[in-house]
Structure 1
C-alpha cells in the first residue's frame, strides 16, 4: 500500500533522487533546527502571561519561575545531548531519532499550550530540551554523512542561517502575534511549523538507506573513510600538526597507518610478535576521547562565546531601545532585523571556508565584531541619527558574528575527521563520532545561551549599557587568540592539514 513511499526490495520509492539530494537533506536539517529554536523562542513573551493567568503564580514570583523554567530547559539539554550523541553514533539510521525528537517537540508544545500548572509547564520545558538535543546532535551528524568534509562549511552556512533566524525572529513574531491575536494564535503558529517539519522529515531518505537501490547514493563520509583506509588522504603525520594534541597522546594504535620505522621480524611459533597494548585512553568513551583535542576544545569555546554574544542582545536590547527611544514592544522586536539580515550570507561564507579553511574567517569574525560591540556605547540619545547609528552598528555586528560561527560549526567536523584519520577504523565506533562531537557543540551552544543573557543583564543592571558593550567587545577579541592558534590545526606547524585548509597553506 505504501510502496510508493517506502519502496520495495526491487523498486525504489517515489522521487528517490530528490528525497536523497544534498539540497533537500540540508533543507530538512535546517528547517528542523529553525523549528526547534523558533518554538523555544516564541514563548518568551508568553510565559509570564501563562504563569500569572493560567498557573496562578503571584506577580512577585514571576521572575523566579521564569529563571527556573530556563534552568530546567538547559538542564534537560545538557543531560540529553551526550546520550543522544552516543546512541546516534550506534544507530543504523539518522531519520528515526529525528522523528522521535519531533514527537518530543510536538509533545512539549502541547503541554506548554494547555498547561495550567507550573508542573505541566516545567514538563513541557524538559521535553523541549530533549527535542533540541536530538535535533542538533542527529541533524548535524546527518549533514556530515550527506555532504562530507569538502562541502560541510557551505551546508553549515544554511544551518547557521536557520539558527540565527530562529534565535532573533522568534521573540519578535511571538510578541507581535501575542499582542495582536492572543495566546492561542502563538501556538497555532508553532503547530504550523511543526506540521511542515513533519512533512520534510518523513519525506527525507538517508543516502545510506537509498544505497540499497542505487550505489550512487552512498554517504559522502563512507567514501572518505574508504579513501583514508586506502591511504589516499594526507598527511600521515597528524599529531600536533592538526589538533594541537601531543604526539604522545596521538601515538599510533594497533592497525593504524604504517610508520617509517623498520618492519618487525616475521613472527614464529618460538618468537611470536608481541601485540601492542592499547593506550589507557582507548578504553574511555569516545566523547571523552574527543575532548583530548585542543583543536576541538577551541572550536567549542568559540561556539560558547558566539552563542553568548548573540543571545546577550535578547536580554538587554529590547529594554535599551524602550528606555532610550520610548519604543513599543513591536519596535523593540524590529530592532533585531539589522542583526538578522547579514545571516543570509552564511552559505556563501561557508563556501569560502570550504575553499580556504576556517581559521582566518573565524578569527576575522570575532576580531571584527569587537570594535562595533564596544561602539554601541555611542548610542545615548533619542534622535534619528542615533537610531540610524544603532541599526548600522548592529548590522556590522551581525555580519561579523555570522562570519565567525559558520566556519566554527564546520571546524567541529574537520577536527573529528583529523582525529579519526589517525586512528584505526572503528576506534570511535562503527559509525564514527560525529553525533557525539555535535552533542558537545550542542552543550557549548546551550551554555552560551545561559551565560550570555545572564552576563549582559547583570552588567547592564549594575554598571549600565556602556559597561556591558565594553565587556562583550573584550570577550569577542579575547576569543581571537585560541581561534588563531588551534582552528584548522596548530598554527605553529606548516604544511597541508588535509581537512578544511586550502592546499599549500600552513596549519
Structure 2
C-alpha cells in the first residue's frame, strides 16, 4: 500500500496537461495586457472629470508609466528566472502584486496617484510575462513551440481587444472603479488556474515513481502510452523509457534548472546574435507603435468622429480582433516553414496600411483600415517570440525566463517611449496634425526595420533564397 504522501496529486493528468498550462498563461497575458490597454480610452475623460486641462501630455505619461514599471522590474525578473526553476510561485506573486496595483489605480483621485499605480502595474506585469512565457517553453516539445506561443500570444491580442471597449463601456455606465473590478475578477480566475497547475517537472517525478499519465508530453520526453493514471508499487525503471534514468529527471535539467552560467555574459552573447537582436528590436518597435496609437487615436476619434469614452474604447476592437485568427495561424506556419515569411508579410502589410488611417472618410472606412493594421501586427508577434526561443537554444547558458525578460524589456522600452512621444506631439499640435505626425512616425520606423526582418528573421537571407535555419531542429 502507498501512503497518502506517496499518492500523486488529484487530477494529475488534467493539472499537468499542456492545455491547462497554455490556458493559464493565456489568461495571465490577457490580464496584463488588458490592465495596460483598459486605461487608454478612460484616462482622458477621467482627468477632465478631476479638473485637469490640456490632458494630452498627461495621458501619455500615465500610459508610459506602465512601461517604466516593466523596465524597472525586468533585471530582477531576469536574475530570478535564471536562478529559480519553479515558475508557479513567481507567477502567483505577480498576480497578487497586480491585484494590489489595480486596487490602488481604482482608488486614485489624482494624476500622481495614477502614475504610481501604473508604475506598480508594469512591475507586476513583468513577472506575468517573463515567467509565463518561460513556463510555456518548459512545457512543450520543440516542434510545438511556435504554435503554443501563437496560442498564448493571442492573449496579448485578447487583452488589447477587451481592455479598451470594456473599459469605455463600464466607465460610462458604472463609473471609474468598474473597469478595475472587471480586471480583478479576471485575476481571480487566473489565480485559480495557477493554483491548479502541476508543472511538467513535478509530473515527471511522479512518472519516475511509476505513475502513468496518458498522453503526457514534455520537452525531451516521449509521449506516454494511453494507460489509466494509477500509482504503482514498482521501481522507476519499469516505466521510465530506456536510457532516460541515466540522464536524470528524463533529460530536462536544461529546461527546469538553473545553468549557473554568468547571467550578463549569456545575455550579451544572446543579443550579439542578429536573429535575436532583430526580434528584440521588433518587440521594442511594437511597443512604440502601440504606444503612439493608444495615445493619439482616442483623442483623434473623439475630435474627428465625436466619439465618447465608450465609442473610443470600441474602436480598438478593430485593431486586435483579427489576431485571434492570425496569431495561431502565424504560429502554425512558423512551425512548418519558418518565421521569415509571416514576419515579412506582417511588416509589409503594416507599412502599406497604417498611412491609410489618415484618409478623412467615414468611420466604417477608418475601422476597416484598423482591421488591416491589426492583421499586419499579428503576423509579426508570434514569429518574433519564436525566433527568440531559437536563438536561446543556440546560446549556451540561456534560460527561457532570461530570454523572454529581454523580450519584455524591449517591449517595455517601446511602451514607455511611444506614449510619451505621442502625448507630447498631441499636446503641442492640433488633433489632426498630431495624429498625422504619430502615424507617419510609426510607419517610417517599421519601414526602416523591414529590410532587417527580411534578412535576419527566420535565419539569414542567403543568395536571394529564403531559407529556414536548420538550427531550429538542433538538439
Range of TM-score over shorter length: 0.7 to 0.9
Q: Is the 1:104–1:131 contact (alpha carbons within 8 Å) kept by the matching residues of 2?
A: yes
| Cα distance change of structure 1 residues 146 and 164 upon mapping to structure 2, 3 Å threshold | same
Q: Specify every segment of 5 or more residues in structure 2 that has no aligned partner in the other structure, as ranges.
A: 223-242, 248-260
Matched, 1:488 2:468: no
Query: Which structure has greater helix proportion?
Result: 2
Alpha-carbon distance between aligned partners in 1 of 2:133 and 2:144, rounded to the nearest angstrom: 13
Alpha-carbon distance between aligned partners in 2 of 1:77 and 1:303, rounded to the nearest angstrom: 13
Q: Is the 1:208–1:219 contact (alpha carbons within 8 Å) kept by the matching residues of 2?
A: no
| Cα distance change of structure 1 residues 326 and 95 upon mapping to structure 2, 3 Å threshold | same
Alpha-carbon distance between aligned partners in 1 of 2:4 and 2:136, rounded to the nearest angstrom: 26
Alpha-carbon distance between aligned partners in 2 of 1:335 and 1:284, rounded to the nearest angstrom: 42
| Cα distance change of structure 1 residues 170 and 467 upon mapping to structure 2, 3 Å threshold | same
Greater shift in the superposed pair: 176-185 or 310-319: 310-319
| Cα distance change of structure 1 residues 467 and 115 upon mapping to structure 2, 3 Å threshold | closer
Query: Which residue number corresponds to residue 295 of structure 2?
Result: 315
| TM-score (ref. length: structure 2) | 0.80
Given the alignment, which residue of 363, 366, 375 partners 1:390?
366
Q: Is the 2:390–2:471 contact (alpha carbons within 8 Å) kept by the matching residues of 1?
A: yes
* CA deviation after TM superposition for structure 1 residue 467, in Å: 4.5
| Cα distance change of structure 1 residues 48 and 362 upon mapping to structure 2, 3 Å threshold | closer
Alpha-carbon distance between aligned partners in 1 of 2:384 and 2:119, rounded to the nearest angstrom: 28
| TM-score (ref. length: structure 1) | 0.76
Once the two structures are superposed, what CA deviation does each residue of 1:356-406 show, in whole Å capped at 9, x if it has no partner? Answer: 1101210111012111112222x214xxxx333222221111111101111
Q: Is the 1:354–1:501 contact (alpha carbons within 8 Å) kept by the matching residues of 2?
A: no
Give 1:436-455 correspondences, 5 Å limit.
Answer: 436-455=402-421
* CA deviation after TM superposition for structure 1 residue 69, in Å: 4.1
Given the alignment, which residue of 126, 136, 151 partners 1:158?
151
Query: Which residue number corresponds to residue 404 of structure 1?
Result: 380
| Cα distance change of structure 1 residues 147 and 367 upon mapping to structure 2, 3 Å threshold | same
Matched, 1:149 2:135: no
| Cα distance change of structure 1 residues 45 and 310 upon mapping to structure 2, 3 Å threshold | closer
Matched, 1:180 2:152: no
SS of structure 2 residue aligned to 1:450: helix
Query: Which residue number corresponds to residue 347 of structure 1?
Result: 328
Give the number of aligned pairs.
426
Query: Which residue number corresponds to residue 214 of structure 1?
Result: 207
Alpha-carbon distance between aligned partners in 2 of 1:201 and 1:283, rounded to the nearest angstrom: 27
SS of structure 2 residue aligned to 1:13: coil
Matched, 1:110 2:103: yes
Alpha-carbon distance between aligned partners in 1 of 2:118 and 2:318, rounded to the nearest angstrom: 30
* CA deviation after TM superposition for structure 1 residue 51, in Å: 6.3
* CA deviation after TM superposition for structure 1 residue 68, in Å: 4.7
Query: Which residue number corresponds to residue 469 of structure 2?
Result: 497
Q: Which has the larger radius of gyration?
A: 1
Given the alignment, which residue of 351, 356, 360 partners 2:341?
360
Q: Specify every segment of 5 or more residues in structure 1 that has no aligned partner in the other structure, as ranges.
A: 1-6, 231-280, 421-427, 503-507
Query: Which residue number corresponds to residue 252 of structure 2?
Result: none
